[in-house]
Amino acid sequence: MVKTEIKRIDSQKLLKETNLSKKAALLQYLAQQCRIDVFDILHEKGTGHWGGAASAAELITTLYFHIMKVRPNEPEWAERDRFVLSKGHASTMLYTVLSNRGYFPQSELSTFRTLNSRLQGHPCMNKTPGVEMSTGALGHGLSVTLGMALSAQLLKKKFWSFVLLGDGCLNEGQTWEAIMAAAKFKPERLVLMIDYNKVQLDGNSDEIMPLDPLPEKLKAFNWTVAPKVYDGNMVSDIIQSWEWMQKQTDWPLAVIYKTHKGKGVSFMEDNHKWHGAPIDEDNYAKGRPELLKTLKDLEVQS
Partner 1 sequence: MTNQSIAMRDAFGQALVNLADKYDKMVVLDADVSSSTKTIEFGKIKPERFLNVGVAEANMVDIAGGLATCGLRPIVSTFAIFLALKCTDQIRNVVCYNNLPVIFVGGYAGLSDSFDGASHQSVTDLAIMRAMPNMTVLVPGDPTEVQTALEIALENNGPTYIRLSRNPSPILFEKQPLMEISKNRKLSNGSDITMAVCGIPTFMAIEATEKLMKLGVSVDLLQVSTLKPLDIDSLITSVSKTGKILTIEEHSVIGGLGGAIAEALGKHCPVKMDYIGIEDVFAESGPYPELMAKYGISVNAIVDRVKNSMEK
Name the strand (E) or helix (H) holding 142.
helix 141-154
Instruction: Please answer whether residues 188 and 80 qualify as being in contact, where contact means their C-beta atoms are separated by less than 8 angstroms.
Output: no
Footprint on residues 148-207 left by partner 1 (CB under 8 A)? 148-152, 154-155, 173-174, 177-178, 180-181, 184-185
With respect to partner 1, which residue has the nearer C-beta, 1 or 180?
Answer: 180
What DSSP designation does 273 have?
G
CB under 8 A: which stretch of 8-16, 65-73, 146-154, 240-248 binds partner 1? 146-154
Q: 230 pairs with which residues across the strands?
A: 257
With respect to partner 1, which residue has the nearer C-beta, 190 or 226?
Answer: 190
CB under 8 A: which stretch of 48-56, 133-141, 247-255, 287-295 binds partner 1? 133-141
With respect to partner 1, which residue has the nearer C-beta, 125 or 277?
Answer: 125
Between the two ends of the chain, the Cα-to-Cα distance in Å is 29
Angstrom distance (rounded) from CA 24 to CA 31: 10
Q: Which long-range contacts (CB under 8 A, 24 or more apart) does 12-19 make?
A: 12/102, 14/65, 15/65
**Cα four-point dihedral sign 102, 108, 114, 116:** negative
Residue 125 touching partner 1 (CB under 8 A):
yes
Residue 147 touching partner 1 (CB under 8 A):
yes
Using DSSP's 3-state secondary structure scheme, residue 84 falls into strand
- Give Cα 199 distance to the centre of its chain: 16
How many residues of this chain bind partner 1 (CB under 8 A)?
30
Residue 117 touching partner 1 (CB under 8 A):
no
Residue 237 one-letter amino acid:
D
With respect to partner 1, which residue has the nearer C-beta, 107 or 126?
Answer: 126
Candidate residues 6, 15, 68, 124; the one interacting with partner 1 per rule CB under 8 A? 124
With respect to partner 1, which residue has the nearer C-beta, 2 or 154?
Answer: 154
Angstrom distance (rounded) from CA 61 to CA 97: 6
Candidate residues 24, 36, 133, 169; the one interacting with partner 1 per rule CB under 8 A? 133
Residue 78 touching partner 1 (CB under 8 A):
yes
Shortest separation between residue 119's beta carbon and partner 1, angstroms = 16
With respect to partner 1, which residue has the nearer C-beta, 92 or 143?
Answer: 143
Candidate residues 4, 18, 19, 126; the one interacting with partner 1 per rule CB under 8 A? 126
Cβ-proximal residues to 36 (8 Å cutoff; 6+ apart), any chain? 6, 288, 291, 292, 295
**Cα four-point dihedral sign 221, 223, 224, 226:** negative
Residue 74 touching partner 1 (CB under 8 A):
no
Residues that bind partner 1 (CB under 8 A): 78, 124-126, 132-134, 136-137, 140, 143-152, 154-155, 173-174, 177-178, 180-181, 184-185
